Structure 1
Amino acid sequence: MTDVSPPPDRWLLETLQALRTTLGRIEVEEEACLEAIHPEYGDSARNLLHFIAFHRHAHPGLPKALRQRGLCALTDCDPHLLSSLEAVITALEALEGLGPSAQAAPPSVFQGQPGPGQLQHHCDRLFGALAAAGVAGIMVTLPAEAAERPALIADLLEAGMTIARINCAHDDPVVWGRMVDGLTQARLATGRPCAIAMDLAGPKLRTGQLALQPAVIRVRPPRDRMGRPSQPVRILAVPPGAMPPPPDTEAVLVPVRLSKAKRLKAGDRLRGRDASGRRRILTVVRSGPDGVLLQADQTCRFRSGLVFRQRHRKARLRVGPLAPVSGERLLRPGDAIRLTPEPDQGGGTLPCTLPEVFGDLRLGERVLFDDGRIGGVIRGVSAQEVVLEVTTAQAKGSRLRSDKGINFPDSDLRTPALTAKDIEDLAFVTQHADMISYSFVHRDSDIQTLRQCLEERGRGDLAVVLKIETRQAFLNLPRLLLAAMGHGAPVGVMIARGDLAIECGWEALAPIQEEILRICAAAHVPCIWATEVLDTLAQHGHPTRAEITDAAMGARADAVMLNKGPNITATVKVLEAIVARSASDRSDRSHPLLTCLAFRSNCVTDEPLP
């Protein structure tokens, strides 16, 4: 029996032609969407739709099949997908001997492509004069210290900062105004341009204020490698309210009330029980007008009201008062806890700052606390409370404190991204910012609400950077971009990897951040790589090898964001060197192994191509 199956190249050609038809069909299906797009983004929106359709229907083995035939695999053609697909079809037709192109050389897939030019154009609009072709910008979060030290801002500009970020979740308009004034002065002094990005706080889904508890000061002698105390620990006992500098850097300051302190002399001993109830001895090193310097051979825990006495001369030391500190909960696997809108009631309850989300929660959905350190599952839900079972915590218990983040990664939250505080802050932001970073945006309506507020304030032209920090935002990213393209103002995307890693899982962060880069490339939208970039270097003065690699990967984006830290100026210099060396990689945002996670579930088959 004769084999009548089509030859492999003919089968591949038919597959590519079907994909071309699919790309045309999505334009028809989304005609209303394209009509709502501003002319500035017409080509970009159309290419984004092509990207979606292509990855919904493309066979996962297509890139390998194209490479085996010596053709472009279409894995790095996201910014110009249709024209690249046309070029590959033309080349394959030539190989098949079809049409007048059979004797012609295959055209370059990059000839006459609008994608890279469109992206650079949108970078110029978002970052202004700061957008240098081939070099990622450097965004730096200004610390509160910058409000009092304009020289710090000048140092950051000299080091390479091109965008100054002011986080509206902290401080107030008075402090922000000082930062803006300092930046204005620094720009004049250095002659360097720098944009201002102001980050709206968004809805704070956190643990509420837990009941205060007594403060405890813990002092512990240094120990050798066997765990034995190697020398006594020093304690400077001073009257409450007095804050003299310690006589040496190792002394721990403890406020106390002293009775008959003049009778104390070097070598005298004070005895008592510390906060743990254990007997402790404090030995006097010296007594003077600045207080009494003591030393202890064992770990001591001091709390208000503890008394240490001298046996014979009757001198006495009473600790305190110590200001109470925020409370905490010790949570273990299997514990049941109730989230409530009420102030802390102790026991098995936990206050929540945003009870409006309770109505969006469902049984069996997960909840994560404190950057995912503690996890639970919803066992009961009502408008007044949510009952949780703790599933992830240390066996001995994990401590949960006030003002720690809460994430509901499985829940479809309808909480608006723009809060009353954000609307109030817009009065300052619209007067001073070059771009707004929009926190916790996850729906089309969030973009429309912000744009309406900006237009009411006469700043409809203000650039908006969409912070992708939730699972919802990641899954809705194409629709968010299309909604933003309905306006002519510049738009960008920030990969806020902190909350994104918590919501989507640490193991999924790497492919997700690559996926966002690809979607932004397809939409010709500038992308900012953010969260914990060179964080160890900024905090401690020396980087890890992993974060150097991370910064180099992030340099493929159009800007990289640094958080504040005591060594931030040196960190900016290191990042500038990294992005300069990585400039040639910025045009390649794709990864040959990715198959577009956001749309992968709709692929027709996983069978290998012929």
Structure 2
Amino acid sequence: MTRPRLNEARTKIVATVGPACDSVERLCELIEAGVDVFRINSAHGTIEQHAEKLANIRTASIQTGFPVGVLLDLAGPKIRLGQLATEPMQCSLGQKFTFIRGQSSDAPDELTSSYARLIDELDRGDRVMLADGTVALEVESVSADKAVCHVVAPGEIRSRQGINLPGVKLSVSAMLPADIENAIWAAQNEIDFISLSFVRTSEDVRSLKDLLGSYECPALVIAKIEKPEALENLERIVEEADGVMVARGDLGVEIDVAETPVAQKRIIATCKRHMKPVIVATQMLESMHHSSRPTRAEASDVANAVLDGTDACMLSGETAIGDYPREAVAIMNRIMRKTEESELPTSPAVDGKIEAAHRMAHAVAQAGTSVAEAIGSKLIAIATHSGGTAWVKSNTRSLIPTVAVSDHVASVRRMNLFWGIEPMLCENIQDTHHLIEHVTRWASAQTDNGVALVNSGDTIVVVSGSDVIENADSVLSVHTLP
């Protein structure tokens, strides 16, 4: 077993699985390069294809000895273009196009969409953004069965590309029938995280959590922030969700692109106050689709996300369809490590209500960190069944390496999303002597350029969560390596 490692990035890496990396061999390479969570995008492929990806991920986890997490990304009410008459289609400045009902048209000046009510919800003057915002139309007129538009930002479009409607409040449900089917499949197959696209209110998140609850599914629900309504309801959405994704692709089209960096910082800060993990996603190393090295701007983008306080960064097309999936993971890991060597910002004050809900775990995690820093401990070890204590500990943002040991493999996989937590599977964690022996054996084997990271005489601070030791809320102890 080569992972977890004490000398890898504390900020986690989420990588999207696609044709470029979906074999067991390539998935093993990405795990070794630093992937903590694999994302399956339900917008592409069938449930049978998702199941094949999941089987390969689980096999790669066994082969590498690292229980990597899995995130299923629900497509949500993503509006897409129907089949175009020509492929690709050029849109010239001032050119007129007409949206009609249906899924396809043979006329070169007619467009269709996957959303049957699109024409009903458009008004004169609305903007229609195509191809991730690179092409823009403005609505001239709307009648019962068509909406006439003209091009205000020219470019090239293709069938099935996304449609964004900035400022248009859609009546479509947050979960379509296909999303419900995918969520049920995820619940039945022990998926660790399920993300919900185009969240607008906390009720959208609650509807998914209720569905998963009916299947007794413990998966963490990740709310994707990519609509203006989500920013308006941010506090309540973060309170309701188990985690959040800053989905900058659609968010940067739905709001002014100039506002996106500030929105990212606001979302991350809100998540930190509520002790919720947050993922920054989309175009982080975009040039690595076809280049073996990122641009300086992309490296700065990753570094700034780390400095903002994100728990994880996500790779999309870079690993799914790119030419250099392993290299993209490795360079992201390097950028994160170098950034973390600088002075990281302290976590903002935790929201009072959340702090009360985790009062004991928060107090013990803070105490364990303080003790470790005071005596110069090389390692903090957390024993936890559920991962709750590790979740709280990750919010201290201490740079002291922390390993979280659980006897539940599902908890180990979920902890892969927690900043600064290296999860490890171990049986019988109630036996403190056995736990210390297991952690010591692992820590003693950790080296960096041939130099041992932990040596005889070094101390380890051990925190046992409230669900581990019988008749004890939490236990904190200090051990010296023999």
TM-score for the superposition, normalised by structure 2: 0.65
Q: 1:144 aligns with which of 13, 19, 33?
A: 19
| Distance in 2 of aligned mates of 1:131 and 1:374 | 46
SS at match of 1:403: coil
Please give the residue correspondences for 1:539-578 in structure 2 after superposition, counting only pairs within 5 Å: 539-555=290-306, 556-563=309-316, 564=319, 565-578=322-335
- Asked if residue 331 in structure 1 is aligned to residue 99 in structure 2, the reply is no
The CA deviation at 1:517 is 1.4
The CA deviation at 1:525 is 1.5
- Asked if residue 496 in structure 1 is aligned to residue 242 in structure 2, the reply is no
Larger-Rg structure: 1
The CA deviation at 1:424 is 1.4
The CA deviation at 1:146 is 4.0
| Distance in 1 of aligned mates of 2:141 and 2:269 | 39
Please give the residue correspondences for 1:85-164 in structure 2 after superposition, counting only pairs within 5 Å: 135-147=10-22, 149-164=23-38
Q: 1:203 to 1:130 in 2, by over 3 A?
A: farther
Q: 1:453 aligns with which of 197, 206, 211?
A: 211
The percent of aligned pairs where both chains have the same amino acid is 30
SS at match of 1:352: coil
The CA deviation at 1:580 is 2.0
Residue in structure 2 matched with residue 412 of structure 1 by the alignment: 169
- Asked if residue 516 in structure 1 is aligned to residue 391 in structure 2, the reply is no
Q: 1:144 to 1:537 in 2, by over 3 A?
A: closer
| Distance in 2 of aligned mates of 1:381 and 1:588 | 52
Q: 1:580 to 1:557 in 2, by over 3 A?
A: same
| Distance in 2 of aligned mates of 1:586 and 1:134 | 13
Please give the residue correspondences for 1:582-601 in structure 2 after superposition, counting only pairs within 5 Å: 582-583=339-340, 586-588=344-346
Q: 1:474 to 1:383 in 2, by over 3 A?
A: farther
Residue in structure 1 matched with residue 225 of structure 2 by the alignment: 468
SS at match of 1:500: helix
The one-letter code matched in structure 2 to 1:446 is D
Conserved in 1, the CA contact under 8 Å of 2:184 and 2:212? no
- Asked if residue 340 in structure 1 is aligned to residue 114 in structure 2, the reply is no
- Once the two structures are superposed, residues 209-231 of structure 1 have per-residue CA deviations (whole angstroms, 9 ceiling, x without a partner) of 023xxxxxxxxxxxxxxxxxxxx
The one-letter code matched in structure 2 to 1:473 is A
| Distance in 2 of aligned mates of 1:541 and 1:513 | 27
- Asked if residue 198 in structure 1 is aligned to residue 72 in structure 2, the reply is yes
- Once the two structures are superposed, residues 333-391 of structure 1 have per-residue CA deviations (whole angstroms, 9 ceiling, x without a partner) of 33332212223141532111113243333332211111222212223234532222322
The CA deviation at 1:433 is 0.8
Conserved in 1, the CA contact under 8 Å of 2:12 and 2:311? yes
Please give the residue correspondences for 1:282-361 in structure 2 after superposition, counting only pairs within 5 Å: 326-342=86-102, 343-361=104-122
Residue in structure 2 matched with residue 46 of structure 1 by the alignment: none
Q: 1:505 to 1:189 in 2, by over 3 A?
A: same
Q: 1:131 to 1:432 in 2, by over 3 A?
A: farther
Q: 1:373 aligns with which of 134, 143, 147?
A: 134
Conserved in 2, the CA contact under 8 Å of 1:139 and 1:559? yes
- Once the two structures are superposed, residues 161-218 of structure 1 have per-residue CA deviations (whole angstroms, 9 ceiling, x without a partner) of 111111111122333223222222222222223111111111231111023xxxxxxx
Alpha-carbon RMSD: 2.5
- Once the two structures are superposed, residues 103-144 of structure 1 have per-residue CA deviations (whole angstroms, 9 ceiling, x without a partner) of xxxxxxxxxxxxxxxxxxxxxxxxxx9999981111111113
| Distance in 2 of aligned mates of 1:548 and 1:577 | 10
| Distance in 2 of aligned mates of 1:467 and 1:447 | 10
Conserved in 2, the CA contact under 8 Å of 1:151 and 1:186? yes
Conserved in 2, the CA contact under 8 Å of 1:357 and 1:415? no
How many correspondences in the alignment?
Answer: 336
| Distance in 1 of aligned mates of 2:29 and 2:121 | 47
| Distance in 2 of aligned mates of 1:451 and 1:142 | 25
Conserved in 1, the CA contact under 8 Å of 2:121 and 2:168? yes
| Distance in 2 of aligned mates of 1:161 and 1:407 | 31
Residue in structure 1 matched with residue 277 of structure 2 by the alignment: 526
Conserved in 1, the CA contact under 8 Å of 2:209 and 2:221? no
SS at match of 2:290: helix
SS at match of 2:337: helix
Residue in structure 2 matched with residue 76 of structure 1 by the alignment: none
The one-letter code matched in structure 2 to 1:554 is A
- Once the two structures are superposed, residues 399-442 of structure 1 have per-residue CA deviations (whole angstroms, 9 ceiling, x without a partner) of 33311211111111221121111111123211231010111111
The one-letter code matched in structure 2 to 1:434 is D
The CA deviation at 1:464 is 0.6
Residue in structure 2 matched with residue 312 of structure 1 by the alignment: none
| Distance in 2 of aligned mates of 1:589 and 1:381 | 50
Conserved in 2, the CA contact under 8 Å of 1:131 and 1:137? no
Q: 1:142 to 1:582 in 2, by over 3 A?
A: same
| Distance in 2 of aligned mates of 1:539 and 1:494 | 25
Residue in structure 2 matched with residue 441 of structure 1 by the alignment: 199
SS at match of 1:339: strand
| Distance in 1 of aligned mates of 2:270 and 2:97 | 40
Residue in structure 2 matched with residue 506 of structure 1 by the alignment: 257
SS at match of 1:515: helix
TM-score for the superposition, normalised by structure 1: 0.52
SS at match of 2:124: coil
Q: 1:165 aligns with which of 39, 47, 52?
A: 39
Conserved in 2, the CA contact under 8 Å of 1:199 and 1:439? yes
Q: 1:131 to 1:333 in 2, by over 3 A?
A: farther
Residue in structure 2 matched with residue 364 of structure 1 by the alignment: 125
| Distance in 2 of aligned mates of 1:348 and 1:549 | 42
| Distance in 2 of aligned mates of 1:151 and 1:335 | 49
The CA deviation at 1:539 is 3.0
- Once the two structures are superposed, residues 476-498 of structure 1 have per-residue CA deviations (whole angstroms, 9 ceiling, x without a partner) of 222322344xxxxxx11111111
Residue in structure 1 matched with residue 181 of structure 2 by the alignment: 424
Conserved in 1, the CA contact under 8 Å of 2:9 and 2:334? no
- Once the two structures are superposed, residues 231-272 of structure 1 have per-residue CA deviations (whole angstroms, 9 ceiling, x without a partner) of xxxxxxxxxxxxxxxxxxxxxxxxxxxxxxxxxxxxxxxxxx
- Asked if residue 207 in structure 1 is aligned to residue 77 in structure 2, the reply is no
The CA deviation at 1:469 is 1.6
The CA deviation at 1:538 is 4.7
Q: Larger relative CO (CA 8 A, sep 6+): 1 or 2?
A: 1
Conserved in 1, the CA contact under 8 Å of 2:9 and 2:336? no
Q: 1:188 to 1:399 in 2, by over 3 A?
A: closer
